[in-house]
Amino acid sequence: MLVKLLKTTRPAALLSFFGMAVLFFALQLLHLSDYSFVQTGYPLFDLAQYLLFSNKWLAAILVFVLSLLMAMGFNNLISEKGVLKYNTVLPASVLIIFVSIFSFSSVWLAVFLLLFFLNKLLGVYQKERPYTVLFDAAFLLGMSVLIYPPTIFLFPLIYIANLTYSATGWRNYIIPVLGFISPLLMMVCYLFFVDVLPLYIEHYIRMLNLSLPSVDITLSKGIFFMLLAILLLSAFKELAQWIALKSLRSRKAFIVFVAYFLFSLFGFFTPAADDLQQLMVLAFPIAAFVGNYLLFARKWWWYEVLFALFLLSAIYFHLSQVFGL
Q: What is the pLDDT of residue 180?
A: 95
The residue extents of the domains of the chain are 2-323
Least confident of 6-10, 66-70, 152-156, 207-211: 207-211
Confirm if 107 and 273 have CB atoms less than 8 A apart.
no
Give dist(CA 147, CA 105) in Å, integer: 10
- pLDDT of amino acid 37: 54
Q: For residue range 43-92, what is the model confidence (pLDDT) as tens digits?
A: 777 777 766 666 677 778 888 999 999 999 999 999 888 888 888 999 99
pLDDT single digits (tens) 200-245 = 888 888 888 877 766 777 888 899 999 999 999 999 998 888 888 7
| Largest separation between any pair of C-alpha atoms in the chain | 62
Q: pTM score, two decimals?
A: 0.92
Handedness of CA 180, 186, 189, 195 (dihedral sign): negative
